């Protein structure tokens, strides 16, 4: 007799597998890193709250990021793909994990619209895919700010980094040309992750991944 699988349970199992892959290869991830690396009022950069996709998308984007890091001079990494929801979060690890778990339980998986590639001269925003800040992302950001009692300065600009470090313009142009196909792969929100993000990229550590557990069709409520 065939047993129908619970979609939430299936997603949780897939993300548990993804977590083991991430943990074994994670060097760090970016997005919203200016607050975490600009040297605030204390020396503890704390944690970052990330949006992550399912196992298939994680692997596709990670393979491309790893290829960039190993091919282009000045590229740092490799690192796992993600979209930072909130950076420089303070508190004990247990507290941050519990708040993130609670947020994930109140959020449904949602799609994200990949707009195109962008670049800056910043170390942690060298080259990235811009993401449309739609209602779902705006609500998720508000929920995170409320949960952790903080508001980051500046406008929230969600993005998925492809390269960190210091790349010349020719390298960036070559990467962007080759990355066009990634826009069709999709990177939908399937989980929230907590990462310890000190200044040195090699010391970054993923400490928890929580599947978005609310039935689809329900946007996160701030």
- Give the torsion sign (CA, 214, 138, 154, 126): positive
User: 90 to each of 43, 170, 194, how far by Cα in Å?
Assistant: 11, 38, 12
Residue 219: predicted pLDDT: 54
Please give the DSSP secondary-structure letter assigned to residue 201: G
Please give the DSSP secondary-structure letter assigned to residue 88: E
Please give the Cα distance from 89 to 46 (Å, whole number): 5
Residue 183: predicted pLDDT: 87
Residue 32: predicted pLDDT: 37
Reduce the DSSP state of residue 17 to 3 states and report it: helix
Please give the Cα distance from 137 to 133 (Å, whole number): 6
Residue 43: predicted pLDDT: 53
pTM: 0.79
Please give the DSSP secondary-structure letter assigned to residue 189: B
Reduce the DSSP state of residue 74 to 3 states and report it: coil
Q: Which of 165, 33, 21, 123 is nearest to 80 (CA)?
A: 21
Q: pLDDT 10s digit of each residue in the chain, 222 long?
A: 444 444 434 444 445 444 444 443 333 333 333 333 333 334 567 899 999 999 999 999 999 999 999 999 998 878 889 999 999 999 999 999 999 999 999 999 999 999 999 999 998 889 999 999 999 999 999 999 999 999 888 899 999 999 999 999 999 999 999 888 888 888 999 999 999 988 888 888 999 999 999 887 655 555
- Give the torsion sign (CA, 217, 144, 148, 89): positive
Runs of H (alpha helix) within the chain:
7-25, 34-37, 55-71, 93-105, 135-148, 169-178
């Amino acid at each position: 007799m065939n047993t129908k699988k619970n979609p939430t349970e299936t997603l949780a199992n897939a993300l548990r597998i993804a977590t083991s892959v991430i943990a074994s290869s994670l060097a760090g991830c970016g997005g919203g890193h200016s607050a975490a690396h600009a040297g605030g009022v204390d020396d503890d950069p704390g944690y970052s709250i990330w949006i992550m996709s399912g196992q298939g998308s994680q692997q596709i984007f990670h393979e491309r990021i790893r290829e960039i890091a190993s091919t282009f001079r000045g590229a740092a990494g490799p690192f796992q793909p993600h979209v930072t929801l909130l950076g420089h979060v303070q508190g004990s690890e247990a507290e941050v994990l519990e708040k993130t778990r609670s947020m994930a339980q109140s959020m449904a998986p949602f799609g994200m619209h990949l707009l195109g590639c962008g670049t800056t001269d910043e170390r942690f925003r060298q080259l990235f895919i811009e993401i449309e800040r739609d209602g779902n992302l705006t609500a998720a950001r508000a929920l995170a700010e409320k949960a952790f009692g903080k508001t980051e300065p500046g406008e929230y600009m969600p993005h998925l980094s492809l390269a960190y470090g210091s790349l010349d313009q020719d390298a960036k142009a070559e990467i962007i040309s080759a990355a066009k196909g990634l826009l069709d792969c999709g990177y939908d929100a399937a989980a929230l992750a907590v990462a310890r993000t000190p200044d040195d990229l090699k010391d970054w550590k993923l400490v928890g991944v929580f599947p978005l557990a609310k039935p689809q069709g329900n946007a996160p409520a701030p």
